[in-house]
Chain A
Amino acid sequence: MSSSEPAVDDTLDTPFFLRWLTTAATSVSHEAARLTDLDSAIGDADHGTNMQRGFAAVAEALEKEPPGSPGATLILAGRQLISKVGGASGPLYGTLLRRAGKALGDAEQITPQQLADALRAGVDAVAQLGGAAPGDKTMLDALLPAVEALGGATGSFAAAGEAAEKGALATVPMLARKGRASYLGERSVGHQDPGATSSALLIAALAEAAR
């Protein structure tokens, strides 16, 4: 853990959230080809391109009309993803950020614990929308361990990043039960889930922004 990591009583402001999402946009852009490759193994080879397009739109919108609060930042980002991405990723990631943003309300300063709770609300909304559970080989397998790590007693952004990365790797031996990969049944085994991978990128960007 970095020494400059926000402590439990630290607060996170709007610039922190802007930094998180622009970092995520850069990271998704760098990893787009890898996401698309993962998706071509068990899906339809568009995840990287779609995420790149969506997060580029997020970065552009945040620059054009910088929101006044952390909650508004996440809501604007979520709306951009829903209206630009398409596929399953658009509604799912859009819902994750929008719901988390709504949970934050219009507070200007957020504690890490409040962010953990808001992200938990977002992840719950994703689970409900996609009808998936842990172990189904979806983005939830990275997001759930991340919010648990972040919300725990010794929670930190770095721990959340590590948990998400570990969760994404853990999808390799899983049998896909939701999304397009589920149509493959047994043949989905042995491939890392592209959605869990992009989720890990998003959480890693959070840890990066906190540094």
Chain B
Amino acid sequence: MKMLINVPETVVADALRGMAACHPELIVDVENRVIVRRDAPVEGKVGLVSGGGSGHEPLHGGFVGSGMLDAACPGEVFTSPVPDQMVRAAAAVDSGKGVLFIIKNYTGDVLNFDMAAELAEDEGIQVAKVLVNDDVAVTDSLYTAGRRGTGATLFVEKIAGAAAAEGAPLEQVESIARRVNELSRSFGVALSPCSTPSKGGPTFELPAGELELGVGIHGEPGRERRAMMTSHEIADYAVQVVVEDLRPENPVLLLVNGMGATPQLELYGFAAEVHRALGERQVAVARTLVGNYVTSLDMAGASITLCQVDEDLLRLWDAPVRTAGLRWGA
């Protein structure tokens, strides 16, 4: 496996040095692994902090900037960050109005953010937490740790970020974030495994003629393996399971997300099929975002996320955003 790296041990630090060099609007603390918008803390504004394992870029560091996150904490590849990073981030962005932690539902992320919230509160920072758990691929039951948090994280960060930018108080930003999560569902498909730098090769085997339906963003298996399907068939499958679970009555935001190694040519072709499949089920699409946003290193494949929106959420979605990975109207 050839990778554009120096050594596996410095992959995350090297990427952060790159972000620092390329984005003067960000303060990138390479040693402590915190990315903060340069103008933080923004007076009178609730601070938004997220984070998770590295390897999902541009999530989350690429979404730090005006209209979205105030800070992000990147962990090691596919490993959640540690509480020290989150506390540092919270302290850097708190203007006195409190901080919202946006957490993807993975055991490590949840445990570390929980510990960080306690520590930050000890330092006098008011902290609220929202858990993103949108992935319909794995069944929720009494016995599991719940659904995984994936693509909806982008919707939560963008829309809650817009609400915070408008000056909404912590309680309201938190409730909007929670609402966006509740109105969102995702499903992902892998055409190839991903390779982590430390392992130096694929983290799972996926035979040439097969695909993994319901794959997680770390390449963890999902529902089932099947013989390779066409874009048309994959779109039908993914849209069916998401719509069945979400049962949208309003128009939706649609994210057609690449896993890292699928080109735009294929993603747009897939987006066409997703639009068709949604149309056949009478689901109106208000906005579509197509590209690599919540990736899994070099995995080929795609995920779709739907978020059911009303006028208010749509207005917040359309509000200006200026980050390395997402930018419009500003």
> Is B106 in contact with A180, judged by CB distance below 8 angstroms?
yes
| A88/B76 contact (C-beta < 8 A), A46-B196, A183-B145 known | no
Total contacts A-B at CB 8 Å:
107
> Is A183 in contact with B143, judged by CB distance below 8 angstroms?
no
Chain B residues contacting A92 (CB-CB under 8 Å) are: 111
> Is B221 in contact with A187, judged by CB distance below 8 angstroms?
yes
Chain A residues contacting B53 (CB-CB under 8 Å) are: 44, 46, 86-87
> Is B221 in contact with A91, judged by CB distance below 8 angstroms?
no
**Is A11's beta carbon under 8 Å from chain B?**
no
> Is A40 in contact with B82, judged by CB distance below 8 angstroms?
no
Interface of B is mostly: loop
> Is A82 in contact with B115, judged by CB distance below 8 angstroms?
yes
CB distance from A50 to the nearest CB of B (A): 6
Query: Considering only CB atoms, which chain A residue lies closest to B142 in the complex?
Result: A177
Chain A residues contacting B148 (CB-CB under 8 Å) are: 183
**Is B43's beta carbon under 8 Å from chain A?**
no
Chain B residues contacting A89 (CB-CB under 8 Å) are: 108
| A179/B79 contact (C-beta < 8 A), A36-B199, A46-B198 known | no
Contact of A130 among B79, B107, B144, B199 (CB under 8 A): B107
**Once bound together, how far apart are the Cα atoms of A44 and B53, in whole Å?**
11
Query: Considering only CB atoms, which chain B residue lies closest to A92 in the complex?
Result: B111
Chain A residues contacting B139 (CB-CB under 8 Å) are: 185
Which residues of chain B in 85-115 are interfacial with respect to chain A, using CB atoms and an 8 Å cutoff? 106-108, 111-112, 115
**Once bound together, how far apart are the Cα atoms of A54 and B118, in whole Å?**
22
Q: Residues of B within 8 Å of A, CB-based: how many?
A: 33
Chain A residues contacting B112 (CB-CB under 8 Å) are: 86-87, 90-91
Which residues of chain A in 15-51 are interfacial with respect to chain B, using CB atoms and an 8 Å cutoff? 36, 40-46, 49-50
CB distance from B55 to the nearest CB of A (A): 9
CB distance from B115 to the nearest CB of A (A): 6
A interface residue numbers (CB < 8 A to B):
36, 40-46, 49-50, 53, 82-92, 129-130, 177-180, 182-185, 187
A-B contact pairs, 29 of them (CB 8 A): A40-B204, A42-B220, A43-B220, A44-B79, A45-B78, A45-B198, A45-B219, A46-B196, A86-B75, A86-B81, A86-B108, A86-B112, A87-B53, A87-B75, A87-B112, A90-B80, A90-B111, A91-B115, A130-B107, A130-B111, A177-B143, A177-B145, A178-B145, A180-B107, A180-B218, A182-B143, A182-B144, A184-B221, A185-B138
